[in-house]
Amino acid sequence: GAVVSQHPSWVICKSGTSVKIECRSLDFQATTMFWYRQFPKQSLMLMATSNEGSKATYEQGVEKDKFLINHASLTLSTLTVTSAHPEDSSFYICSAPASTGSQETQYFGPGTRLLVL
């Protein structure tokens, strides 16, 4: 199946710094990617839809100035957590749809664990 990678897999940073997370579709092109956040023992909450060549679409309650999304190419989307604070500590997961046979399937990355001290 299609593969989505994320980098880094985990990151620890100081409060107030910015952290960039990359999401790549390795063997297919994705004009759209999605960013999710998952707190411990909770479900995945959609943060935003990343669109290649245009602005990202953010879900209600997600600060677009804090979570900057750039869909630089058909295989790369980046999420930058600006001025990170401890409450931003979470598991961030991206996904991208790809065609497999007759249907399109959503493939998820392995996630990036962020810890803000």
Partner 1 sequence: QQQVKQSPQSLIVQKGGISIINCAYENTAFDYFPWYQQFPGKGPALLIAIRPDVSEKKEGRFTISFNKSAKQFSLHIMDSQPGDSATYFCAARGGTGGFKTIFGAGTRLFVKA
Per CB under 8 A, 34 contacts partner 1: yes
Omega prior to 8 cis, within 30 of 0: yes
What Å distances lie between residue 23 and 81, 86, 107, CA to CA? 14, 22, 11
| CB of residue 97 to partner 1, shortest distance in Å | 5
**Of 11-19, 62-70, 79-87, 107-115, which segment contacts partner 1 by CB under 8 A?**
107-115
Total residues at interface with partner 1 (CB under 8 A): 23
Per CB under 8 A, 93 contacts partner 1: yes
Per CB under 8 A, 99 contacts partner 1: no
CA distance 96 to 84: 25
Question: Residue 76 or 108: which CB sits closer to partner 1?
Answer: 108
Binding string, 39-58, against partner 1, x = CB under 8 A?
A: --xxxxxx--x---------
- Tell me which amino acid residue 76 is: L
The CA dihedral of 116, 30, 71, 94, to the nearest 10 degrees, is: -10
The CA dihedral of 8, 86, 60, 7, to the nearest 10 degrees, is: 0
Per CB under 8 A, 105 contacts partner 1: yes
Question: Which parts of this chain interact with partner 1 (CB under 8 A)?
Answer: 4, 6, 32, 34, 41-46, 49, 93, 95, 97, 104-111, 113
